[in-house]
Amino acid sequence: MGIGLSPSLIANVKEASRLCELLGEEITFVHVSDGKSDLRQAIEKQVEEVGTLAVKHQFLWKEGDVASLILEVCEDLNADLLLVGALPREGLLRYYMGSIARQLVRKSNCSILLLTQPLLYPKSYRHIVVNGVDHPKTDYTIHKTLDVAAALEASQLNIVEEIPPNKNTRRAADDDEAARCSRWRHIIEKREQHRIKLSLKGTEIPNLHIETKIIFGKPGYSIGHFTQTSGAELLVLNSPDTKLGFIDRVFTHDLEYILSELPSDLLIVHSSAQSSPGK
């Protein structure tokens, strides 16, 4: 986990420790400075206030570029998950210049969890939303989400697929067109629900209620809105197929909508399935 001297430092440490304890993992805390200031003593003093951590852990102190060194540590340790704090909403300047969290999301080769509002007394993930998009990575992402839901004892899981409106499903100008669009939507919903049902075949987690929801709307915006309005504490997405750059922030797409205004904590699951849909 990347840490720095901030008002949320202790909360981030507590949140990360609790999650790793539940997931049965050890944790490495990484602090990177620019070499011009020594914050190590101040950070160590605050961390000492947390008390004994329940998981095996270590601290690493580095100097240099923050994002590059955190990613380098993840590579060296063969990390499964990178945890970082993130602002729920970024101002215009930080949006275009790119916060550390954004840089890590774009370049990370392991799964990454963005903690938006860490608490001194960590919350539970009772309600989780995962993207059910028709993509080669999705089965892996859903099953990893089920593992996380079981470990965290979540009670509700929504598998949400966003379908961009097209000529067959967009709003109609008259009653006949509306009826035709409605039929198309019904056909697509049935088809996609069947696909997700097959993905879940043989999977059963006690006390976890699973629902599938098909949303016709703009990818990224729609699932973010659903996550926020449903009160879910965690949103899970596939990792991007390609490394994202400045042009992705100018011409906003699904992941960038989520990153610009995080509706909850965000888990991006990295997998080796890099094929494009339909291939």
Task: Break the chain into its structural domains and give their ranges.
Answer: 9-115, 127-255+263-269
Residue 98: pLDDT band (50, 70, 90) is very low
C-alpha distance from residue 89 to each of 92, 93, 178, 260, 271 (Å): 10, 12, 37, 6, 27
Assigned token pair, 169: 């499903």
Report whether 85 contacts 8 (CB < 8 A). Answer: yes
Write the DSSP symbol of residue 43.
Answer: H
Instruction: Find where tokens 């160590």 sit.
Output: 44
Burial of 196 (0-12, 13-18, 19+ CB in 10 A): buried
Residue predicted with more confidence, 64 or 180: 64
pLDDT digit string, tens, across residues 180-221:
777 877 888 888 888 888 888 878 788 899 999 988 888 888
Instruction: Find where tokens 């197929």 sit.
Output: 241
% of the chain residues with pLDDT over 70: 75
Write the DSSP symbol of residue 24.
Answer: T
Top-level CATH class of 127-255+263-269? alpha beta
C-alpha distance from residue 123 to each of 81, 111, 126 (Å): 19, 21, 9
User: pLDDT value at position 107?
Assistant: 81
Cα separation, 125 vs 127, whole angstroms? 6
pLDDT at 277 over 50: no
Decide: pTM greater than 0.85: no
Cα separation, 258 vs 105, whole angstroms? 12
Phi, psi (5° rounding) for residue 208? -110, 115
Q: Tell me the average pLDDT across 39-57.
A: 73
Alpha-carbon Rg for the chain, nearest whole angstrom, is 20
Whether 127-255+263-269 and 9-115 are alike in CATH topology: the answer is yes
Question: Going by CATH, does the domain composed of 9-115 fall within 3.40.50.1000?
Answer: no
Report whether 184 contacts 168 (CB < 8 A). Answer: yes
What average pLDDT does the structure give for the chain?
77
Q: Tell me the average pLDDT across 99-120.
A: 79
Residue 130: pLDDT band (50, 70, 90) is very high
pLDDT at 68 over 60: yes
Report whether 61 contacts 41 (CB < 8 A). Answer: no
Cα separation, 256 vs 242, whole angstroms? 13
